[in-house]
Amino acid sequence: MDLSSIEIFLAVARDRSVTKAAKVIGRAPSNVTTRIQQLEENLGVALFSRDGKKMTLTREGEAFLSYGQRLVALALEARQAVKPLPPSGTLRVGTMESTAASRLPAALAQFNRMWPDVSLRLTMGASRNLTHDVLTGALDCALIARPPQTMLEQDEAFDADLKQLEAEAAFVEDLLIVLPAGHPQIASAAELRVGALAALEPGCTYRRIAEHWAKQSCDLETSQLGSYHAILASVATGAAAGVVPKSVLDLLHWPADVQTHHLGTVETLLVYRNSDRTSAFSAFQEVLRLTTVRTFRGMMH
């Protein structure tokens, strides 16, 4: 069991796909498959359930995940201890509020331990605005949401900005409609018994997805709020349904028996300008890859 095989395992766990993982780490898909099989043989267990091209962690894979992350992070710290890398200066990172709350704390803590000389400045915003800020140079990189095109109408300005940037997968979010207490389960927006959809600002991809879903079967007013706490408070009044990523809902300890409707999965991307990659960005990118591999036990339905 070597470090390279563990890094490959983490990449496949992150992307749920051999093909996507191979592209990110610069290996042939056949090589990735072989290394995963060798690791499974070495451990004597299956780490992934294979459903076509989709790779889902088994119970044993989930157990090995945390150990793999710790081993790779420790190796990274060891390399830094014996041959320090030179990242310094300021790194301007844009992020959605949901990502900052549920996905970034471990990565930011690890980054600060390894490279305390880098001043990391976070900017919160909607995906559309963050993407534009990276393109114009106001940000060095950003974590933004990009859903499958079948989930919402085209945003030409957003798509045009995104096509000019480099992007790699960071996470997959399960997007939910959260219903008020006592509301019956729904199959479509037509069955909603509320008058409004509680969501963030118009540039938010999650809001756009929910509005596209709702307008196909009903005329639902959007209530714009400034935070997910405010969205869930609005849901609690019984007057609105809220659009919230499951990772945030879990983080806020909302009652486990609350009724939700699953809108689909949404990919979170790290976007950046390839021409302006600094040593600080490369260090952040590496730490992000190693510390934000998602587990799926809390995301299954």
| Contact (CB, 8 A) for 47 and 16 | no
Six-digit token string for 96:
């959605």
Amino acid of residue 148: P
- Shared domain check, 246 and 101: no
178 and 260 inside one domain = yes
Q: Are residues 201 and 227 in the same domain?
A: yes
Number of structural domains the chain divides into: 3
Q: Of 39-43, 97-101, 155-159, where does mean pLDDT reach its minimum?
A: 155-159
Q: Which of 42, 60, 82 is the last residue of a domain?
A: 82
The DSSP line for 105-159 is HHHHHHHHHH-TTEEEEEEE--HHHHHHHHHHTS-SEEEEEE--GGGS---HHHH
Choose the final residue of a domain: 22, 49, 82.
82
Is the model more confident about 21 or about 230?
230
CATH number at residue 47: 1.10.10.10
Q: CA-CA distance, 207 to 227, in Å (whole number)?
A: 12
Burial class (CB in 10 A: 0-12, 13-18, 19+), 196: middle
Q: Contact 161/169 with Cβ under 8 angstroms?
A: no
Mean pLDDT on 227-240:
93
Q: Please, are residues 207 and 201 in contact by the beta-carbon 8 Å criterion?
A: yes
pLDDT of residue 171: 86
Whether 257 shows a pLDDT value over 80: the answer reads no
Q: What CATH number is attached to the domain comprising 186?
A: 3.40.190.10
Q: Work out the percent of the chain whose per-residue pLDDT is above 70.
A: 94
Q: Same domain for 192 and 133? A: no
Together in a domain, 63 and 102:
no
- pLDDT tens readout for residues 117-134: 899 999 999 999 999 999
Three-class SS of residue 267?
strand
pLDDT surpassing 80 at residue 281? yes
Q: pTM for this one?
A: 0.70
Q: Are residues 276 and 166 in the same domain?
A: yes
pLDDT of residue 15: 79
pLDDT for 86: 72
Q: Of 50, 67, 82, which residue constitutes the final position of a domain?
A: 82
Average pLDDT over residues 87-92: 88
> 167 and 177 in one domain?
no
Other C-beta atoms closer than 10 Å to the C-beta of 50 total: 13
Model confidence at 208, pLDDT cuts 50, 70, 90, reads: very high
Distance CA 32, CA 24 (A): 11
Q: What 3-state DSSP class applies to 110? A: helix
Answer yes or no: do 259 and 282 share one domain.
Answer: no
Structure confidence at residue 293 (pLDDT):
52
Mean residue pLDDT across the chain:
87
- Are residues 20 and 51 part of one domain? yes
Separation between Cα atoms, residue 23 and residue 27, nearest integer Å:
7
Angle (CA) 149 265 236, round 5°: 115
Instruction: Please indicate, yes or no, whether residues 165 and 178 belong to a single structural domain of this protein.
Output: no
Angle between helices 18-25 and 3-15 (to 10 degrees): 120
Domain of residue 131 covers 89-171+268-299
Contact at 8 Å (CB) between 136 and 165?
no
Within this chain, do residues 97 and 49 fall inside the same structural domain, yes or no? Answer: no
- Residue 160: pLDDT band by 50, 70, 90 thresholds? confident
By the 8 A CB rule, do 197 and 241 touch? yes
User: Same structural domain for residues 239 and 259?
Assistant: yes
